[in-house]
């Protein structure tokens, strides 16, 4: 019997550890601290740091993991490893089972064990009937971890807290949008998600995202931050095109942001990267960022938060 776990231990994990070790080293960690974070010996860390990353990228490419994706995994795992071993194990497990579920380890596994030529167990066990749905959940989970790891993010959070939404596929249904139940809240000056991402967790963010997509089909994700004069300067520094709404009386029916955005989009045909909601009676000012995926909008929001905290 030859389970795919052997590929994890022999091929995948050493390559990932090497990249994570190099990422932590770039952040100023000593060999001893890296060894503790990764749960390996200092001699192993010394070997990782002296080796070229080319071999690791090549090994991961055999699992159909592109260099850009490998670097993203390394960054996320480095942040998790700094926080706790449990966080890192959870993320690593999600990445690995995601690869198995999509059949990306099958070529290597079958080459090593020819008798498994007809095996499709991993796809059946770890795959999803809707791979895009699985990807959307994984995207939001990865984006949330990046947000939780940012020391600056909390400074730009509004009183109503933050949510991050990501669309699965090309549906126009709010039920196809993944978000964070209970939102991302501020806890002791840090951002923390209340629960794991779920489909249909935020009707408001889903409606805002789906409406924005009628103008730009490239928008698959959205996130909100606080808006004030300082954030206005941040938007200008980032070079973002914004559509402005707001001025509510408190007598609007339904979701006032969605209603105002629908009307503003009918009046303005130009492209936009963000929606500035100046708020009004009963509505706190917010800015909504849009992007191609959950990680992209999280990274944009983190960049904005860093500029905001430094302003």
Q: CA separation (Å) from 164 to 209, 222, 243, 256?
A: 10, 6, 19, 19
- Bridge partners (DSSP) of residue 166 are 178, 221
Q: Report d(CA 237, CA 234) in Å as an integer.
A: 5
Domains within the chain, CATH numbers bracketed: 5-127 (no CATH), 151-310 (3.40.225.10)
For the cut 60, the answer to whether the pLDDT of residue 50 exceeds it is yes
pLDDT tens column, 272-304: 999 999 999 889 999 999 999 999 999 999 999
pLDDT tens column, 79-121: 888 877 877 887 888 789 888 988 899 999 999 999 988 888 8
Handedness of CA 129, 163, 166, 206 (dihedral sign): positive
pLDDT recorded at residue 125: 79
For the cut 50, the answer to whether the pLDDT of residue 129 exceeds it is no
pLDDT recorded at residue 91: 80
- Nearest Cα to 301, choosing from 140, 61, 188? 140
Share of the chain above pLDDT 90, in %: 65
pLDDT recorded at residue 54: 96
For the cut 50, the answer to whether the pLDDT of residue 181 exceeds it is yes
Q: Report d(CA 134, CA 117) in Å as an integer.
A: 26
Confidence at 253, pLDDT banded by 50, 70, 90: confident
Question: Rounded to the nearest 10 degrees, what angle do helices 13-26 and 31-38 cross at?
Answer: 140
Q: Report d(CA 236, CA 226) in Å as an integer.
A: 15
- Nearest Cα to 177, choosing from 196, 203, 195? 203
pLDDT recorded at residue 130: 53
- Check residues 137 and 44 and name the one with the higher pLDDT: 44
Taking the CA atoms of the chain, what radius of gyration do you get in angstroms?
22
Q: Is the pTM of this model over 0.85?
A: no
């Amino acid at each position: 019997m030859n389970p795919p776990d052997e590929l994890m231990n022999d091929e995948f994990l050493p390559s990932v550890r090497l990249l994570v070790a190099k990422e932590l080293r770039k952040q100023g960690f000593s060999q001893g601290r890296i060894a503790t974070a990764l749960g390996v010996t200092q001699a192993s860390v010394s070997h990782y740091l002296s080796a070229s990353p080319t071999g690791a990228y090549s090994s991961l490419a055999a699992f159909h993991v592109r260099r850009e994706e490998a670097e993203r995994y390394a960054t996320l795992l480095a942040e998790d490893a700094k926080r706790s071993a449990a966080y890192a194990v959870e993320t690593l497990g999600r990445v690995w089972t995601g690869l198995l579920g999509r059949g990306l380890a099958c070529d290597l596994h079958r080459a090593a064990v020819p008798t498994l030529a007809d095996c499709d167990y991993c796809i059946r066990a770890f795959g999803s009937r809707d791979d895009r749905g699985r990807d959307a959940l994984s995207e939001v989970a990865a984006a949330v971890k990046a947000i939780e790891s940012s020391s600056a993010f909390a400074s730009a959070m509004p009183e109503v807290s933050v949510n991050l939404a990501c669309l699965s596929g090309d549906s126009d249904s709010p039920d196809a949008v993944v978000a964070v139940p209970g939102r991302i809240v501020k806890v002791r000056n840090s951002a923390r998600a209340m629960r794991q991402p779920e489909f249909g967790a935020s009707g408001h963010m889903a409606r805002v995202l789906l409406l924005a997509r009628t103008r730009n089909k490239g928008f698959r994700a959205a996130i909100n931050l606080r808006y004030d004069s300082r954030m206005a300067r941040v938007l200008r520094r980032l070079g973002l095109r914004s559509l402005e709404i707001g001025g509510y009386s408190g007598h609007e029916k339904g979701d006032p942001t969605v209603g105002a955005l629908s009307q503003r989009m009918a009046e303005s045909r130009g492209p936009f990267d963000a929606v500035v909601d100046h708020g009004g009676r009963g509505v706190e000012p917010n800015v909504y960022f849009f992007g191609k995926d959950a990680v992209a909008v999280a990274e944009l929001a983190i960049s904005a938060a860093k500029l905001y905290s430094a302003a």
